Amino acid sequence: MGHRSGDGTGKAGAARRTALYGMMTALAFLFSYLETLIPLNLGVPGVKLGLANLVSIVALYLLGARPAAAITLVRVVLSGLTFGSLSMMMYSLGGAAVSLTLMILLKRLDWFGVTGVSIAGGAGHNIGQLAVAAAVVENGALFYYLPVLLAAGTAAGAVIGLLGGLLIRRLPRRF
C-alpha cells in the first residue's frame, strides 16, 4: 500500500520534514550568530534579544513540541560550541529547558496567544539561566539581577511573539 505523493507520509514526507528541520535549525543558528554581533549592555550579563527564539516559537506552533525542542537543542549546542564556551552552553541549555517547558505548557493550556506564550518563554529563559548560574557559583545572590532580566525577557519575548505571530499566520500549516 503506497502513500500518495505529497501527503506528508512516506519517504518523501520524511525527507521534506528533515530538510525543513535542518533549515529551521540553520536559521536559528544564524540568528544566534547575529546576536553575537549586537552588543547589549544593560548592566546585567546575559541580556540578549532572543532572535533565535523566533524560530523556536514558530516551530512550536507549526511543527509541534518535539520538533521545536529538537531544533532548539541542536541550535543551543551548535551555538555554544561555535560562539561560546561550555559554561555558556550550560546556561543556555538551562534557559532553553525552562523556556520551552513554559511555552509548551501555556500553548497546550491555550490561556494566551503567541505573544503571551513568547513572553513567558523569554522570562523563563532568563530564570533558567540565572538558576544554573546560581547553582554553578553556589550563590543565590545572583537573583539580585532577576528584575532586570525579567524586564528584558518580557520585552524581548513580546517582540519575538509579535513577529512569530505574524509568521505563523502567513506560513503554511502543512509541511
Residue 51 belongs to a domain with what CATH number?
A: 1.10.1760.20
What is the dihedral sign for C-alpha 78, 87, 67, 167?
Answer: negative
Mean pLDDT of 55-83: 95
- The pTM for the full model equals 0.88
Rounded CA separation 118/124 (Å): 9
Is 4 domain-assigned? Answer: no
User: Is residue 157 one of the residues assigned to a domain?
Assistant: yes
**Residue 58: pLDDT band with limits 50, 70, 90:** very high
pLDDT tens digit string along 126-167?
999 999 999 999 888 888 889 988 998 999 999 999 999 999
Does the structure show a pLDDT above 50 at 4?
Answer: no
Rounded to the nearest 10°, the torsion over CA 36, 37, 43, 44 is -10
pLDDT of residue 44: 66
Question: Looking at residue 42, what is its pLDDT?
Answer: 64
175-to-20, 22, 54, 163 alpha-carbon distances in Å = 8, 13, 18, 20
Q: What is the pLDDT of residue 46?
A: 66
User: What's the pLDDT score for residue 174?
Assistant: 67
Q: Is residue 88 part of a domain?
A: yes
Residue 37 lies in a domain: yes
Q: Which one is predicted more confidently, 4 or 161?
A: 161
Confidence of residue 66 (pLDDT cuts 50, 70, 90): very high
Domain annotation covers residue 175: no
pLDDT for position 2: 43
To the nearest whole percent, how much of the chain has pLDDT over 90?
Answer: 67
**Mapping DSSP to helix (H, G, I), strand (E, B) and coil, where does residue 64 land?**
coil
pLDDT at 50 over 80: yes
pLDDT at 45: 66
> What is residue 175's predicted lDDT score, i.e. its pLDDT?
61
Domain of 74 in residue numbering reads as: 10-170
In a domain, 2, yes or no: no
pLDDT at site 9: 66
Least confident of 36-45, 64-73, 76-85: 36-45
Domain assignment present for residue 27? The answer is yes
Number of domains in the chain: 1
Give the number of other Cβ atoms within 10 Å of residue 175's Cβ: 14
- Asked whether residue 160 is assigned to any structural domain, the reply reads yes
Sign of the torsion formed by the C-alpha atoms of 6, 8, 9 and 14: positive
